[in-house]
Structure formats: C-alpha cells, structure tokens
Structure 1
Amino acid sequence: MSAAAPEQTAARAVDILDVDRLLGDEERLIAGTVRRFVGDRVLPEIESWYEDAVLPRELAPELGRLGLLGMHLSGYGCAGTTATGYGVACRELEAADSGLRSFVSVQGSLAMFPIWEYGSEEQKRRWLPGMAAGELVGCFGLTEPDSGSDPGSMRTSARRDGRDWVLDGRKMWITNGGLADVAVVWARTDEGVRGFLVPRGTPGFTTRDIHHKMSMRASVTSELVLDDVRLPEDAALPGVVGMRGPLSCLNEARFGIVWGAVGAARTCFETALSYARTRKQFGRPIGGFQLTQQKLVDMLVELNKAALLAFHLGQLKDAGALTPEQVSLGKLNNVREALTIARTARTILGANGVSGEYPVMRHANNLESVLTYEGTSEVHTLVLGHAVTGLRAFR
C-alpha cells in the first residue's frame, strides 16, 4: 500500500473524524463562502490590522452583503440560517482572527438579538434591517468597571422622569463601542434590570476607546459613558425585565464562541503541522521526532473533540433543546483547549512562534481574552458545578 501524499495527510489530520461530513449542504456552502472571503479580504491584511489596533468599519457592509450579521435571526433583512450554519461561519471567521468573529458575534447575538427577541415592532423595523446590512453597527453595554463576572451588581441606573428615562453610569470593555450607531445598555430600574437603545449622538452619551491592548487588537473596545442621558419612553426594550434579558443574549454569543474557538485552534494546528513537516533539525524534519508527534497528536485529538462538541451543541440549538449549562460546557472546554493548542503550536514553531509572520502568537494572545470574556472559565466551571451538585458556589 502506497503512503498518502503529504497534502492528503495534512488535510485529513485537521478533520480526522470527518465532522464536516455531518454538515448539511447549506452549512457547507456557508463554510466555503466565509473561508473564501476570509482568504481574499482578511488574511492579507489581518497582521497589519492587529499591529495597528484597528478593525476597518468598511468591513461591516461587506459582512452584511454575505448575510453574516444576525444570520441566525429571521425577518427584517436577516438570513434566517440554522444555528449550526451560524456556528460554521463563526468558526471560519475566527480562523482568521478572534476580533473579526467578535465583531459579528456582538452585532448579531448581543446587539441585534435583544432587539429581535425583546424589542417592539417599531424598534425592530428601525434598527434591524440596517444592522443586518452592516449599514448600522451595534454594541452591548453590560460589563462595568466594577462589575464583570457579577453583572447583577451593576451600578448603571435608569430612572423615570415624566414620560422619559434618564440613564447614568459607565460600561467597560465594550466590543464595537467606538463604532456603534446604537448601544443596547442594561441598567437598574425600580422595576428591575431593563435594556435601553441608546443612539450615538444622544446628549450625555459618549464613548472612549481602550488603547494599549496586548490581545484582541483587531477589535474596537471601548468605555461607554452615560451622564444624564435622556431617552424617550419607547427607548426601553418592552419584552423583558430582569437579568434574564442580558444573560439570554450572552448565551447566544457564547454559542458562537464554542465554534469560533475551533477555528482559531484549527489555524494554529495547521500552522504547526506545516512547520513540523518542513523545519529540519538534526538532519530531518522535526515532525519526524517522537516528542513533536506527541504534541501534534494531542492537538489533533482535542481539535476534533472540540469540533464534535460544537456540532452537537449546534444540533441541540437547532432542535430548541440547548441549555445554558451545555453552552457553558462548550465554552469552557473549547476555549481552554484552543488556548492549549495555540501554546503548544508556539513551542513547535520555536522562536518563529512569536513572530507576526505566523498567526500562532496572535491567536494565543486573542484566546487569552476569549477565555475571560462572556463568562470566565471559573464562572463556567461553577455553573457546571451547580448543575451537577445542585449547590450554588456564588450568587
């Protein structure tokens, strides 16, 4: 029996369990379309965007034309794809950079979803078509300087003044904040936590971009400042009161992370595998040494397990059966393993692993943030701990 060609071996190693064979025709089409867009439009520029700490605003309408913004929502210009199709898109986007996937996740799952799920018909018609097209950008204001893992302790408040609402507070680490035409801001009221749509340009509402980041550099991250921001009564989302609102939005976005982490891990694995096959030491490729093969196999196993987990959660979500605890398991496992894969890939590349000529260190740096945002690994661990013991380790 003849040996497989090197390119065949490499291709099979990435998806050795043939997980992509489980996808439907539409989902494979989405994967191919997004991968081509990323290859043509993003990969030639991403290193410079990362170094310059920018994500061009003009990407938004390009992503909109591909139907990627709010793609798992229906109506109002949204594509209405399956949850698994949305996940596949997130995988291909994050294979390029976590910042790109974050832009799409925040736009669709954190800004558009609450309007779609909890907004009035007037709010949906005003905002969703433009956001789906990428003509309007949204952000999600929940985290505060002193309120990260405990969003229930938020200080941002909204009080009634006649028929108006008046908002005061600060939101921190807000993706897309400096780009956003509308912010979905969550605030305490006498009735409970409520969501408010705050258009850019509203008096008292300003944003300040956060600089000097060592991670997620190809992503705009900002502080939102609300000083006596007066909004009309119909700026409030009418469909939800309480923490169920923002937490349901986070669950939507975490699902995208489960898939996106697979994309980042895949790129790191592919890079390390290619390097190991061509880099020679002691007279032969380092991929022929046992310790390097052990690293590659460990990466291969975890990558394929993560891909299977993402697909399974996608099928559960499409069936309407996905629970928050299952999403926590997916986010905890896939991001943790993706970060381990990125770090292991860096060791295979040696000193070249820290060079911008290779994507590994950029992905590793980004995944350090992904490990923390939208629920730290510790919080997801305790969510699962509560699920299995019935005992709460935190409020």
Structure 2
Amino acid sequence: MSQRPTAPLDLLDLDSSLDEEERQIRSVVRQVIDDRVRPHVAGWYEDGQVPARELAREFGKLGLLGMHLTGYGCAGASAVAYGLACLELEAGDSGVRSLVSVQGSLAMYAIWRYGSEEQKQRWLPSMATGEAIGCFGLTEPDHGSDPASMAARARRDGDDWVLTGGKMWITNAPIADVGVIWARTEDGVCGFAVPMDTPGVTAREIRHKMSLRASLTGEVVLDDVRLPADARLPEAVGLKAPLSCLTEARHGIVWGALGAARDCLETTLAYAGTRTQFGRPLAGFQLTQAKLADMAVELQKGYLLALHLGRLADAGRLRPEQVSVGKLNNVREALAIARQCRTILGANGISGEYPVMRHANNLESVLTYEGTSEIHQLVIGQRLTGISAFA
C-alpha cells in the first residue's frame, strides 16, 4: 500500500514547535538560497571560488549578518530564528553559512560584546549591511585546539601597539576589511580590531582545499603591525573572551549541520523514489528504507536538540558545555547521514550533479573547526566529572 511521502522534518510535526515569525524567517532564507545559491554552488565548489562580497551584501539586505545582535543596524532576532537561518544557509552550502556565521557570530559579536562604542560605531553598521567584511584571527599554524599556547604577540610601544605573528585557516580573511585578531600581551590574551589594509598585514588565500571550496580561507601574517591604542577591544582580556565568541558561533553550527543533513536526505529520498533497480524503485527495498528511517530519526533528534539549546539561549540560560553537546552530536550525525546517503546514490553520489558528496566533504571541516569532536568530548567530560583532562 502506497502513501504520500513525508518530508524528513515533517515526521514529528516539528513545525508546531515554531512561532509564525520563526517560520517566516526560515522561509525567506530558504527562498534566497533557492534563488541565489543552489543554481550556482556546484560551480563555485568545483572552481574553488565564491562571490562572497556580493552574497554578503544580499544577506545584509535581509538582515542576516549579526542578526541575533541588537543595535548598530542589527536585526535583534531570537537565537532560534538565527539558528533556523543557519540551517537554511547550510542546506545550500557549509561555506555559505560560514560566511554569515564568521561575520556575525565571531567578528561582529566580538566587537559588539567587547569593543568600545567608537569601534562599534565604526564597524558594526557597515558589517551588518555586508559592505564591510570581518574575519576572526585566533587559530595559528601551530596552535589550533590549544589557543592558550598562541604565539602571536602584542607589545606596547609608546601609545601604540605592535603586533607580530600569524593566523591560519581564517575564513573571510582574503577579502576582509577588519580582522579581530587575538594576541598575547603582558596582561594576558587581548583582542584587537585590525583594519586589514594596515601596513604589515598580509592575507594569503589558502588554495587546493578539498572541503569548504565555496568559502574563502586565508593565512594572516602580522609583521610588526603598528596600531593605535584604541585598536584594542577594551573589554576583551583573557582567553575567555575569544572562547565566548566561539560559543556564539558553535550555536549556529549546531543548527547549520542539520541543513546539510536535511539536504542530503531530501535529495536521497527523491532519488530513491525514482531510481529503479531489479524492477522496483530503490525506496521500495527494506534495506534502503531501514537506512532512510535511521537517518530521519537522527535528523529529528538533532533538530530537537538544536531547538532546546536555542530556547535556552533566548532565556539567557545556555552554557558552553551545552553548546558542546549540540556541536558534537549534530555535526557527527550530519556527517554520518551524508555518508549513508552517498551509499544509496551509488556512483551518482560522487557526482557534482548531486549535493551529497559536497556536503560530506564540507562536514569534514565543520567536524574540525571551532572545536574538534575530541575537544567537545573533553568539555562535556569535565562537566560530568569535575576534572579537566586538557592538560
């Protein structure tokens, strides 16, 4: 007996958990991704190029850049609305979502939370419209998961600061107008709003990536970069400042990974329903249905987890280790879904005509950046046991 197919996220009627405004924001973002990203993203990925500035301006018109922040031209949307936007963005491509989340949850949030009023007025309005692009320089060539060992230094020279060092794997760096750069000082780790055209700053694009190819990634070199005293973010002292920015961005990843998983599963359901082998569609085989059912269950669970964390964030009660639970689970499961979908598509699963392998490759990076699975396991383990296993 045949029934009308159900979309993966309709299985548990999860839309009933959203209010009308949240559904409208999701619908708007989904439409712009359908119109502006899906027709082109396979080519961007294959070419390793993306019109990032053009996309940023379009997203700025929709209020997506720094949308969960308030004031300075930001939309002041809820954490759940921001999460739903990230889900739809990453359903298009992880690199597209990275453009938005690095801009809003890392660079803009750092200035919004830790910057002076002058810094906020200078940068945030133009970043909210996409006219100015930001990047976030924490990771270094030799220091990824251990930012406490960063080698970048900032020293006082009269009234100025002089920065030296390098940052690696920095999203948006090749086109950024401002970089939020973290460096060690005599007083601990501090943040600086660095105009990227400052003498001594060099941004080199990292090429030949096998993942996140529709995203601009760079290495930033700081060669005795002289900055005025007011370049320092006055409220950002200590490693907790950049880590709090990562918590903001990780919340978007919790949602975003679900978008990649949903796109894979929807693609696979459509394919399995029309691809005929041994006289029947692939979707009619028990083994295929078992795979589809397991993937749909994990997608629902991940969505419910993301929604719970979003509601906690909106209530002001979200803790970093809770975000670690979401990032660990949802990215891990999204990657498993992408890989399983590839098996159902067979050889077509590796074709750029379908998004599955592109999502799988992207999720390999998402699994690593802004906290590897192992780091999030240790964060959760520390909360459970009260014992730090980092050192």
TM-score bin (small chain): over 0.9
Are 2:61 and 1:65 equivalent residues in the alignment? yes
* Distance (whole Å) between structure 2 residues aligned to residue 312 and residue 77 of structure 1: 28
Are 2:111 and 1:115 equivalent residues in the alignment? yes
Q: TM-score, normalised by structure 2?
A: 0.99
Question: What's the CA shift string for 1:128-184, capped at 9, x where partnerless?
Answer: 000000000000000000000000000000000000000000000000000100000
Q: Which of the numbers 53, 74, 91 marks the counterpart of 2:87? A: 91
Match of 1:364 in 2: 360
Are 2:341 and 1:345 equivalent residues in the alignment? yes
Q: Does the aligned pair in 2 maintain the 1:14–1:270 contact within 8 Å?
A: no
What is the CA distance between 1:10 and its match in structure 2?
A: 3.2
* Distance (whole Å) between structure 1 residues aligned to residue 184 and residue 19 of structure 2: 43
Match of 1:254 in 2: 250
Q: Which of the numbers 223, 235, 239 marks the counterpart of 1:239? A: 235
Match of 2:42 in 1: 47
* Distance (whole Å) between structure 2 residues aligned to residue 3 and residue 95 of structure 1: 29
Match of 1:386 in 2: 382
Question: What's the CA shift string for 1:83-137, capped at 9, x where partnerless?
Answer: 1000000000000000000000000000000100010000000000000000000
**Partner SS for 1:330:** helix
* Distance (whole Å) between structure 1 residues aligned to residue 47 and residue 348 of structure 2: 21
What is the CA distance between 1:267 and its match in structure 2?
A: 0.3
Are 2:13 and 1:14 equivalent residues in the alignment? no
* Distance (whole Å) between structure 2 residues aligned to residue 18 and residue 382 of structure 1: 34
* Distance (whole Å) between structure 1 residues aligned to residue 368 and residue 196 of structure 2: 28
Please list, as runs of the form range in 1=range in 2, the aligned pairs for 1:217-232 lying within 5 A after superposition: 217-232=213-228
Are 2:264 and 1:268 equivalent residues in the alignment? yes
- One-letter identity of the residue aligned with 1:231: L
Q: Which of the numbers 129, 135, 138 marks the counterpart of 1:133? A: 129
- One-letter identity of the residue aligned with 1:318: D
Q: TM-score, normalised by structure 1?
A: 0.98
Please list, as runs of the form range in 1=range in 2, the aligned pairs for 1:159-238 lying within 5 A after superposition: 159-238=155-234
**Partner SS for 2:173:** coil
Range with bigger deviation, 357-366 or 49-58 = 49-58
* Distance (whole Å) between structure 1 residues aligned to residue 344 and residue 9 of structure 2: 17
What is the CA distance between 1:336 and its match in structure 2?
A: 0.1
- One-letter identity of the residue aligned with 2:38: L
What is the CA distance between 1:3 and its match in structure 2?
A: 4.8
What is the CA distance between 1:15 and its match in structure 2?
A: 2.6
What is the CA distance between 1:17 and its match in structure 2?
A: 1.2
**Partner SS for 2:249:** helix
**Partner SS for 2:45:** helix
Match of 2:297 in 1: 301
Which 5+ residue runs of structure 1 have no aligned equivalent? none
* Distance (whole Å) between structure 2 residues aligned to residue 254 and residue 262 of structure 1: 13
- One-letter identity of the residue aligned with 1:233: A
**Partner SS for 2:27:** helix
Match of 2:32 in 1: 37
What is the CA distance between 1:391 and its match in structure 2?
A: 1.2
Match of 1:23 in 2: 18
Q: Does the aligned pair in 2 maintain the 1:269–1:299 contact within 8 Å?
A: yes
**Partner SS for 1:166:** strand
- One-letter identity of the residue aligned with 1:236: R
* Distance (whole Å) between structure 2 residues aligned to residue 154 and residue 18 of structure 1: 46
- One-letter identity of the residue aligned with 2:196: R
Q: Which of the numbers 326, 330, 336 marks the counterpart of 1:330? A: 326
* Distance (whole Å) between structure 1 residues aligned to residue 215 and residue 67 of structure 2: 20
**How many percent of aligned residue pairs carry the same amino acid?**
69
Q: Which of the numbers 142, 146, 151 marks the counterpart of 1:155? A: 151
**Partner SS for 1:320:** coil
**Partner SS for 2:370:** coil
- One-letter identity of the residue aligned with 1:36: Q
- Please identify runs of 4+ aligned residues in structure 1 that moved more than 4 A: none
Q: Does the aligned pair in 2 maintain the 1:10–1:273 contact within 8 Å?
A: no
Question: What's the CA shift string for 1:251-275, capped at 9, x where partnerless?
Answer: 0000000000110000000011111
* Distance (whole Å) between structure 1 residues aligned to residue 232 and residue 152 of structure 2: 14
* Distance (whole Å) between structure 1 residues aligned to residue 388 and residue 15 of structure 2: 38
* Distance (whole Å) between structure 1 residues aligned to residue 13 and residue 252 of structure 2: 21
* Distance (whole Å) between structure 2 residues aligned to residue 336 and residue 19 of structure 1: 21
* Distance (whole Å) between structure 2 residues aligned to residue 50 and residue 10 of structure 1: 30
**Partner SS for 1:27:** helix
**Partner SS for 1:139:** strand
* Distance (whole Å) between structure 1 residues aligned to residue 162 and residue 309 of structure 2: 40
Q: Does the aligned pair in 2 maintain the 1:347–1:353 contact within 8 Å?
A: yes
* Distance (whole Å) between structure 1 residues aligned to residue 343 and residue 316 of structure 2: 41
CA RMSD of aligned residues (A): 0.8
What is the CA distance between 1:31 and its match in structure 2?
A: 0.3
Q: How many residues in Structure 1 have an aligned counterpart in Structure 2?
A: 390
What is the CA distance between 1:19 and its match in structure 2?
A: 1.6
